[in-house]
Structure formats: structure tokens, C-alpha cells
């Protein structure tokens, strides 16, 4: 007779592998930018991307980071809208970067981030621009390449903005269906509008994205909301000084997530290497850490191919020394 303990083990293993009951571990890390360079907020791309240095992954993982968001330009992955993935780019560049990130530690997770603001060359998906089929096509193909790995999260679109939200929610449902049709079981990150604002999410896109269904699992456990929040006075992430720790905004978001039993990830946040940001970003990330599992974690903006003197740079110096903001605000709040 099989013991009840053995049955439980078999059952929980089956549930975990089916996704039900599986939960992402607490995540924290950094965006490694480069393949997204010169993608404008209108979705244009001027073909001037850069390679995030592979050594950074081992560097950050050695300090306890376990989340890397790797943005890329849509036009670079599929040069023709709706066409096939450029296998040269995938195999010689993007895949090499993803592999380095995954290899940097057994718990390292990667967000595959389509960094196009819901646009291609100035036109909005399903709102005058690319069709949902064309949008679904790149993710169907990426699902075939990167499917069935729980350490690879699919950021289905970076920072949608200035669009019709109900129509956008339909595009999100379309792309979720496309990814599942490829057989990929991965966690999916669903973005709202206002450049993925954490602040407007609960009253803006959130109520619409709650209706997005996972056709494979039936339950929404693998549909995580994607939010961004900066700490400068206009929330743009372009100023060296920080003016808030965002606790109020994030508490409101967390209450909303708890009401609906959902999760979100803060996939962009950050500030300058200044005393104000060292204080406020540290407080914000401590809050994010405390709000797990409603908030799965964070990735700060940004390291990768950014110069060490970029205003929000998290790129370590050539001698291996980290940026002051990383040392004082990020590192203490890694998982
Ligand atoms: C495919 O990617 C390679 C490597 O990035 C690049 O040299 C080539 O021009 C790309 N092909 C097209 C059609 O864009
Ligand atoms: C890309 O990398 C993934 C995992 O790192 C691997 O499974 C896949 O075969 C690679 N694909 C290509 C086209 O190199
Ligand atoms: C997108 O924005 C860039 C930068 O402002 C501009 O140069 C380009 O002409 C715009 N492209 C389209 C299609 O509007
Ligand atoms: C958020 O985005 C929606 C849709 O793009 C827009 O109607 C609304 O005005 C934006 N809200 C803010 C506060 O920017
Ligand atoms: C954020 O700032 C507010 C107001 O200054 C403060 O009450 C709160 O304790 C801070 N949050 C954290 C997590 O330190
Ligand atoms: C590393 O380089 C940075 C920037 O040049 C410098 O501020 C720092 O003191 C250096 N650290 C060491 C240990 O040499």
C-alpha cells in the first residue's frame, strides 16, 4: 500500500509541474539594457543597439541578485513586422546574454522584455498599427525558443502608453493565447498603460487586465502584473534626485492585489547616485521586499551596456566596484 505521505509527495510534484501551487521565489535584481537602445517611446528603432556585458550577471549574482530583465527592440528580433525571428541575432546575441544570466546562479531568473511601448514605428498595436496576429507572432516564436522554463519570465510589452485600455487588454489576451498555443508554460508579465505606472494601475488598466485569462492553466497564477515606478518628482526616471519612497503608491497597489488575489513585479525603478535616492530607493525596496508575495520582487534600472556615468547607472566600474546607489540601497534589499 502506498503511504499517504508518498501520495502527497506525488501529488504536490504533479501540482508543481502543472503550475498550480508553484510560486515564484522572492526576486530582486537589475535591468541589463542594450538590445533596446534607440527604441523610442513611439516604438521606432534606429538600429543602434549594444550588448549587455556578460560578466555583469556573475558579478550581481555573487551579491545575491536573482532577477535580470533583458530588454530588446522588436525590430531587432523580427526585422519584418510579423515575420520570422532573426536567428543570427537570437543565436549570436540575445540567446548568449540570456544563457549567461541563467548560468550566473541556480536561482537566477530572466525577464525576456519586448521593449516597444505597444508600438512599431509610431503605430499602436491593434489601434492603427501592428495587428494582434503580428504581435502574437513574435511571442509564439519566443514561446517556442524559451518555453517551459520557470526561470524565464515573458515581459510581453514594455511601457504601453496613450492608448485605449480595453482594446489593449484584448491585445494582451491575444498574446497570452499565442504564447500558450506555442506550448510555453512560463510566467507572463502583463502591462497596463501610463508607461506601466504602478500608481494608475489599480484604477486604470488593472480592472481590465484582471479579465485576462490563462487558457492553459485556467487560473491566473502565472499571470503577474508588470508595474514601474520611479522616485523623481515627475516619475520619469530621468532626474538624479529622488523625492519619495513610493510607499503610499505601493501600499495602494498591494491592497488592490490582495483584494483580487494577484501578484505584481516592479520591473523598473531607480534613481541617481545621490543621497536622496540612497534613502528613498532603499526605503522603497525594503517595502517591496516586505510585500512578497503580493509583490514578487523588483529589478532596478539599469546596468548592462549603460556607461558608468549614465544618470541612473547601476553598471559597476571596470575595477569591479559597484555604484554607490547599488551598494547603499539595492544590495541590502536583494532576496
Ligand atoms: C540579423 O541579425 C544580425 C546580427 O545582429 C544582423 O547583422 C543582421 O543585419 C540582421 N538581419 C536583418 C535582416 O536585420
Ligand atoms: C536559446 O537558448 C535556449 C535556452 O537558453 C535554448 O533552449 C535554445 O535552444 C536556444 N535557441 C537557439 C536558437 O539558439
Ligand atoms: C519617433 O520618435 C523619434 C524621436 O523623437 C523621431 O525621430 C521619429 O521620427 C519618430 N518616429 C515616428 C514614426 O514617428
Ligand atoms: C493613463 O493612460 C490612459 C490611457 O492611455 C489615459 O487615458 C490617462 O489619461 C492616463 N492617466 C494619467 C494619469 O496619465
Ligand atoms: C516612506 O516615507 C514615509 C513618509 O516620509 C514614511 O512614513 C515611511 O515610513 C517610509 N517608508 C519606509 C518603508 O521607510
Ligand atoms: C573603482 O573605480 C571607481 C571609479 O573610478 C573609484 O571611485 C573607486 O575608488 C575604485 N575602487 C577601487 C577599489 O579601486
Instruction: Please say if the pLDDT value at position 5 is more than 70.
Output: no
For residue 22, being part of any structural domain is answered with: no
In this predicted structure, what is the pLDDT of residue 25?
98
Helices then strands, each counted (H, E), the chain: 11, 10
* Pairing assessment for the beta strands 119-120 and 123-124 based on DSSP bridges: antiparallel
44 CB near ligand 3 (under 6 Å)? yes
How much distance in Å is there from the Cα of 84 to the middle of ligand 4? Answer: 33
Closest atom of ligand 4 to CA, residue 163: 5
CATH number for the domain harbouring residue 297:
3.20.20.80
For residue 145, being part of any structural domain is answered with: yes
What pLDDT digit, counting tens, does each position of 27-76 carry? 999 999 999 999 999 999 998 889 999 999 999 999 999 999 999 999 99
- Ligand 6, atom 14, residue with closest C-alpha: 319
Tell me 119's DSSP state. Answer: E
What pLDDT digit, counting tens, does each position of 263-311 carry? 999 999 999 999 999 999 999 999 999 999 999 999 999 999 999 999 9
How much distance in Å is there from the Cα of 244 to the middle of ligand 5? Answer: 9
For residue 243, being part of any structural domain is answered with: yes
In this predicted structure, what is the pLDDT of residue 169?
98
Q: What is the 3-state secondary structure (H, E, C) of 158-194?
A: CCCCCCCHHHHHHHHHHHHHHHHHCCCCCCEEEECCC
For residue 38, being part of any structural domain is answered with: yes
How much distance in Å is there from the Cα of 219 to the middle of ligand 6? Answer: 49
Ligand 4 pocket: which residues have CB below 6 Å?
162-163, 165, 193-194, 200, 204
For residue 21, being part of any structural domain is answered with: no
How much distance in Å is there from the Cα of 122 to the middle of ligand 3? Answer: 7
Q: Distance between CA atoms of 146 and 174, rounded to whole angstroms?
A: 19
How much distance in Å is there from the Cα of 145 to the middle of ligand 2? Answer: 6
Q: Distance between CA atoms of 274 and 318, rounded to whole angstroms?
A: 20
Average pLDDT, integer, range 312-327: 97
Question: Do 33 and 52 contact (CB within 8 A), yes or no?
Answer: yes
- Among 313, 321, 326, which is best to mutate for testing ligand 6, by the most ligand atoms less than 8 A from CB? 321
For residue 20, being part of any structural domain is answered with: no
First to last CA, the chain: 42
User: Catalytic residue positions?
Assistant: 159, 268
For residue 80, being part of any structural domain is answered with: yes
Domain count, the chain: 1
At residue 152, the 3 state secondary structure works out as strand
In this predicted structure, what is the pLDDT of residue 76?
98
In this predicted structure, what is the pLDDT of residue 22?
72
pTM of the prediction? Answer: 0.94
Percent of the chain with pLDDT over 70: 94
Mean pLDDT of the chain: 94
Range of the domain at 185: 4-15+27-333
What pLDDT digit, counting tens, does each position of 104-144 carry? 999 999 999 999 999 999 999 999 999 999 999 999 999 99
- Ligand 1, atom 4, residue with closest C-alpha: 89
- Among 247, 279, 333, which is best to mutate for testing ligand 5, by the most ligand atoms less than 8 A from CB? 247
Amino acid at each position: 500500500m502506498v503511504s499517504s505521505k508518498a501520495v502527497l509527495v506525488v501529488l504536490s510534484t504533479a501540482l508543481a509541474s502543472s503550475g498550480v501551487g508553484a510560486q515564484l521565489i522572492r526576486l530582486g535584481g537589475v535591468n541589463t539594457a542594450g538590445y533596446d537602445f534607440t527604441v523610442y517611446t513611439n516604438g521606432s528603432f534606429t538600429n543602434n543597439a549594444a550588448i549587455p556585458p556578460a560578466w555583469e550577471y556573475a558579478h550581481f549574482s555573487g551579491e545575491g541578485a536573482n532577477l535580470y530583465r533583458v530588454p530588446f527592440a522588436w525590430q531587432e528580433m523580427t526585422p519584418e513586422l510579423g515575420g520570422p525571428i532573426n536567428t543570427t541575432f537570437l543565436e549570436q546575441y540575445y540567446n548568449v546574454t540570456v544563457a549567461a544570466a541563467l548560468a550566473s546562479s541556480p536561482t537566477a531568473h530572466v525577464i525576456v522584455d519586448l521593449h516597444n511601448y505597444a508600438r512599431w514605428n509610431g503605430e499602436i498595436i491593434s489601434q492603427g498599427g501592428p495587428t494582434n496576429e503580428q504581435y502574437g507572432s513574435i511571442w509564439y516564436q519566443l514561446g517556442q525558443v524559451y518555453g517551459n522554463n520557470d526561470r524565464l519570465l515573458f515581459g510581453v510589452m514594455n511601457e504601453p502608453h496613450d492608448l485605449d485600455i480595453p482594446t489593449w487588454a484584448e491585445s494582451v489576451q491575444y498574446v497570452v493565447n499565442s504564447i500558450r498555443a506555442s506550448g510555453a508554460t512560463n510566467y507572463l508579465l502583463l502591462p497596463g498603460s501610463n508607461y506601466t505606472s504602478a500608481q494608475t494601475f489599480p484604477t486604470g488598466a488593472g480592472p481590465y487586465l484582471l479579465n485576462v485569462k490563462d487558457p492553459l492553466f485556467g487560473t491566473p497564477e502565472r499571470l503577474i502584473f508588470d508595474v514601474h515606478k520611479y522616485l523623481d518628482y515627475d516619475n520619469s526616471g530621468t532626474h538624479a534626485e529622488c523625492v519619495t519612497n513610493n510607499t503610499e503608491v505601493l501600499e495602494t497597489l498591494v491592497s488592490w492585489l490582495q483584494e483580487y488575489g494577484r501578484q505584481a513585479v516592479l520591473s523598473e525603478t531607480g534613481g541617481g547616485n545621490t543621497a536622496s535616492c540612497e534613502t528613498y530607493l532603499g526605503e522603497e525596496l525594503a517595502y517591496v521586499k516586505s510585500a512578497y508575495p503580493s509583490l514578487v520582487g523588483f529589478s532596478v534600472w539599469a546596468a548592462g551596456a549603460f556607461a558608468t556615468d549614465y544618470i541612473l547607472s547601476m553598471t559597476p566600474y571596470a575595477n569591479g566596484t559597484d555604484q554607490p546607489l547599488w551598494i547603499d540601497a539595492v544590495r541590502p534589499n536583494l532576496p
